[in-house]
Structure 1
Amino acid sequence: MGKNSRYYKDLQKAKTAKIREIQDQLPLYTGGYIDSCIRNHRINTAYEYASDVLLFFRFLTAKNPRCKNKKTNEIPLDILEALNCEDINEFQSYMKASDGIRSHMVSDRTLARKMASMRSFFAYMAEKDFISDDPTLKADKNKKLVENDIKRLSTDEANRLIHAVKETKAATNRSCARSRNVSKRDLAIVTLFLNTGIRVSECVGMDVSDVDFVKNTIKIVRKGGKETHLYMNKNVQETLRDYIQNERPLLTDDPKEKALFLSLKRNRMAVRSIEAMLKKFKTSAGISDNVSPHTLRRTYGTTLYNKTGDIYMVADVLGHKDVNTTVKHYAAMDEEHKKSAAEVNLYDGD
């Protein structure tokens, strides 16, 4: 498995096709921006940016009187030229409320991401002289967004989740039987998340050949297509070996199948399948908050930092390009370190 594998090439091709479908719904003058997103960002980010731009143009058709009865790809450039910060503020309000017909009701964090897309779009349009001023520069900032409000599991919750997977509890006899058929797979996935902090996209993209029990490593493809190797601890080794040797052969009769984690349909697991699996087990584990693959990634990052105090190690293992991202999401949350710092007597006046 690598960034040039058939899996990643097919993924890139499919997502690019979806971006082009979005582009067909936008005015021609947005084409340069969409192309720049594809060139300069990983394909999932480019897709999010394109989707958010289309969402903004749909907002214009719904709320701007000059765009009434126009299709999104028919909105003239002079409409964008006339926009100001108040229009951007109205878009933010539109995303946070229901208009009686369609409800967006996005979270503060989702709104912040969509506003990042808007700032990127309008900055490009201003830089290329499509518009004279960037209306997002003076728009309201989302002050309610709390950067450090990041969900992760406590030690007890993480242990209960693992126990629930081992016990393979499910709501019905049918689902219980289905779960037993992939119990070793599910345990390997949860153990992998909690002991390496890999992203769900990195997990579903792994092939059997990416697991090296001799060198004790796994190979994954990070954001942007960079390949890296991570070392496995004993728990990861044991659960992966058990799954590969004793359960995976029952999920495929194709000796050429490369995917590491397979579904009951005998093909590579999808992201949504892993998300659904975690949702099921978090219920049987008695965890009230949502448990997503990213929750487990955050749990690993927080635990690693709390035990080592080495923010650079955490950034490296998680694949963060900028250590400030790691500091914002992990070090700032470490209340135990803050308490420890208060207990240190640096100066006593003697």
Structure 2
Amino acid sequence: MQGYDEAMLSFLQYLQLEKNYSDYTIDYYRQDINEFLLFISEQAINGLHMVSYFDARLYLTKLYSKNLAKKSIARKTSCLRSFYKWMMREEMVDENPFTMVALPKKEQKLPQFLYEEEIVQLLASIPETTLGQRNLALIELLYATGMRVSECCGLQIKDIHFALETILVHGKGKKDRYIPFGKYAANALHKYMNGARKELMKKAEHDYVFVNSRGEPITPRGIRHILKQTIEHACVDGKLYPHMLRHSFATHLLNNGADMRSVQELLGHENLSSTQIYTHITKDQLQKVYQSSHPRA
């Protein structure tokens, strides 16, 4: 297995250095490849170069037998396809056994989001404490910009331009973009950076904007924990995870008249098709359209 491990580590370094993938994404790749390496060992296959299309199909059958979600199976298959594509480039293998393996069709689910009044209720529930100041600034900014959680964790002081009310966001694939933010996020950020952040940073020194209780740069896991606690305190129904604020950002923009191309640019989507999942209409918007458009409403 030693040769396999070396190939995997080199591939993960490629994802980090050349593709600029987040640590969160790279961890998924590591898990998926390790599972496949275990499968190779169980099948007594003598090397990654010996894996055939039949073996790839057998592995896919094994994944289905575990009753995994189609999304998970698609991710694992895509990961191994990319791994073999990279190994072909590096001349470690002669062919990619996953090229002809069909990815399961993704289940089309509407993105979950919060209604505008739920956002207001959520923000109003945050207490006026040191950590409360940080949490308010964090949630206001996530909702105001639609940033990915990884982008928020990597945000540094120099990236915030208060005079212009814009933020320089370092997105996927080393693609930077500017996103404006409003007065609510600006006020919360000012208060946090001039108060709570200085208090939390007494024993630390770095330029990352959001920090944990020890003054260290906040992690995606830390943000998820903050959101979980916040929604429990706010007594809002359901769960809250970071991408819900991104979904809410896009949904509210489109429902209030923003055009698709502008939202695509703000979200940092490479393809317009990624933005089109937000073209669903909320119940409130549907009711407004019906009342204003139907002759007998």
Between the two proteins, the alignment pairs up a number of residues equal to 289
1:91 equivalenced with 2:54 (yes/no):
no
- Quick one: distance in 2 between partners of 1:236 and 1:107? 37
Match of 1:110 in 2: 72
1:330 equivalenced with 2:293 (yes/no):
no
Task: State the shift of 1:309 in Å.
Answer: 4.2
CA spacing shift, 1:125–1:334, aligned 2, 3 Å: farther
Q: Any gaps of 5 or more consecutive residues in structure 1?
A: 1-22, 68-74, 98-105, 169-179, 346-350
Larger Rg: 1
- Quick one: distance in 2 between partners of 1:268 and 1:186? 14
Contact 2:53 2:97 (C-alpha < 8 Å) held by counterparts: no
1:235 equivalenced with 2:197 (yes/no):
no
Match of 1:56 in 2: 36
Match of 1:272 in 2: 221
Task: State the shift of 1:255 in Å.
Answer: 8.8
Contact 2:8 2:30 (C-alpha < 8 Å) held by counterparts: no
Aligned partner (choices 146, 169, 173) of residue 107 of structure 2: 146
1:185 equivalenced with 2:131 (yes/no):
no
Percent identity between the aligned chains? 22
- Quick one: distance in 1 between partners of 2:282 and 2:204? 50
Q: Any gaps of 5 or more consecutive residues in structure 2?
A: none
Contact 1:83 1:135 (C-alpha < 8 Å) held by counterparts: no
- Quick one: distance in 2 between partners of 1:82 and 1:108? 20
Match of 2:93 in 1: 130
Task: State the shift of 1:311 in Å.
Answer: 0.7
Match of 1:41 in 2: 19
1:317 equivalenced with 2:278 (yes/no):
no
Contact 2:16 2:26 (C-alpha < 8 Å) held by counterparts: yes
Deviates more, 1:273-282 or 1:37-46: 37-46
Task: State the shift of 1:312 in Å.
Answer: 0.5
- Quick one: distance in 1 between partners of 2:242 and 2:58? 36
Task: State the shift of 1:78 in Å.
Answer: 5.8
Q: Alpha carbon RMSD of aligned pairs, Å? A: 3.4
Contact 1:85 1:136 (C-alpha < 8 Å) held by counterparts: no
What is the TM-score when the length of structure 1 is the normalising length?
A: 0.70
Report SS of the residue matched to 2:118.
helix
Q: Deviations over 1:118-145 (max 9, x none)?
A: 2323455678693556345244x424x3
Report SS of the residue matched to 1:305.
helix
Aligned partner (choices 150, 155, 176) of residue 201 of structure 1: 150
Report SS of the residue matched to 1:324.
helix
Contact 1:201 1:271 (C-alpha < 8 Å) held by counterparts: yes
Task: State the shift of 1:304 in Å.
Answer: 1.0
Q: Deviations over 1:288-326 (max 9, x none)?
A: 432111111111111112212411011101111222211
- Quick one: distance in 1 between partners of 2:61 and 2:116? 43
What is the TM-score when the length of structure 2 is the normalising length?
A: 0.81
Q: Tell me which amino acid in the other structure corresponds to 2:64.
A: S
- Quick one: distance in 1 between partners of 2:9 and 2:195? 51
Task: State the shift of 1:112 in Å.
Answer: 2.2
Q: Deviations over 1:274-301 (max 9, x none)?
A: 1101011111223343211111111111
- Quick one: distance in 1 between partners of 2:17 and 2:157? 31
1:121 equivalenced with 2:83 (yes/no):
yes
1:76 equivalenced with 2:24 (yes/no):
no
Contact 2:150 2:220 (C-alpha < 8 Å) held by counterparts: yes
Q: Tell me which amino acid in the other structure corresponds to 2:167.
A: I
- Quick one: distance in 2 between partners of 1:310 and 1:93? 40
Q: Tell me which amino acid in the other structure corresponds to 1:150.
A: P
